[in-house]
Amino acid sequence: MPTVARIETWKGTDVLDSGGNKAGRLDEVYYLSASEDPVLLAVKHGVLGRQVTLVPVTDAVLTHDYVQVPYTAEQMDNVHSGRVEDELTSEQVAAVAALFKVQLPSGPLHSASLIERRRSEAETAARRAHELELDAEQRARELAEARERASAAVEDANVAEQERREAEAASSEVTDPSQNST
């Protein structure tokens, strides 16, 4: 049986109230940022599933076919339904805790979708950083090779300059009439 820790993979699964009646479908799961434990469920319900209610995951039961929460349909109907963002403020969490008379962790909550997006972005950024690191290493090698070639070229130029001077000196000795004694 799946664990509550992976409940976000159950999006679209029926959510039942404490009486076993369908209350809606699991739309999202919210986590405390420093924890892997789910805190709230977003349950879609109403005509065409346009309303979303936040429900504490405390004491929820998972089966192969549904998630059952220990709250009545009436309790869930009394909760403000509306659009729910990927991040819930401490105030929003406290309001849900007060409505259901449960204690929830303080602090903002993040949706499983947001956490997955951030994880994916972090992986993409890490891959890009690795690519840039490899590129920088390649450029550093190319720079070192270019410096070696430049150093060798300077050395060759110095040798050529020395040989030119020696050749000029030898040439001037041969062509200088003052050095010829006839």
Residue 172 lies in a domain: no
**Res 145: pLDDT:** 95
45 in Cβ contact with 24 (< 8 Å)? yes
Confirm whether 180 is domain-assigned: no
Evaluate whether residue 19 is within a structural domain.
yes
Q: Specify if 49 maps to a domain.
A: yes
With respect to residue 67, please indicate whether it lies within any of the assigned structural domains: yes
CATH number at residue 57: 2.30.30.240
Question: CB neighbours of 37 closer than 8 A, spacing ≥ 6?
Answer: 4, 5, 31
Residue given tokens 């805790």 in the structure block: 97
Q: What is the pLDDT of residue 181?
A: 54
Average of per-residue pLDDT values in the chain: 87
User: Among the listed ranges 80-89, 114-123, 139-148, 163-172, which one has the minimum average pLDDT value?
Assistant: 80-89
Provide the whole-model pTM.
0.71
pLDDT, position 14: 94
Split into its structural domains, the chain has a count of 1
In a domain, 35, yes or no: yes
CB 68 within 8 A of CB 18: yes
Q: What is the DSSP letter of 64?
A: S
Domain assignment present for residue 76? The answer is yes
* Domain span including residue 51: 4-111
In a domain, 133, yes or no: no
Render pLDDT for 93-123 as a digit per residue (tens, 0 to 9): 999 999 999 999 988 999 988 988 989 999 9
- Average pLDDT (155-161) is 93
Instruction: Provide the 3-class DSSP secondary structure of residue 107.
Output: coil
Bridge partners of 45, per DSSP, are 51
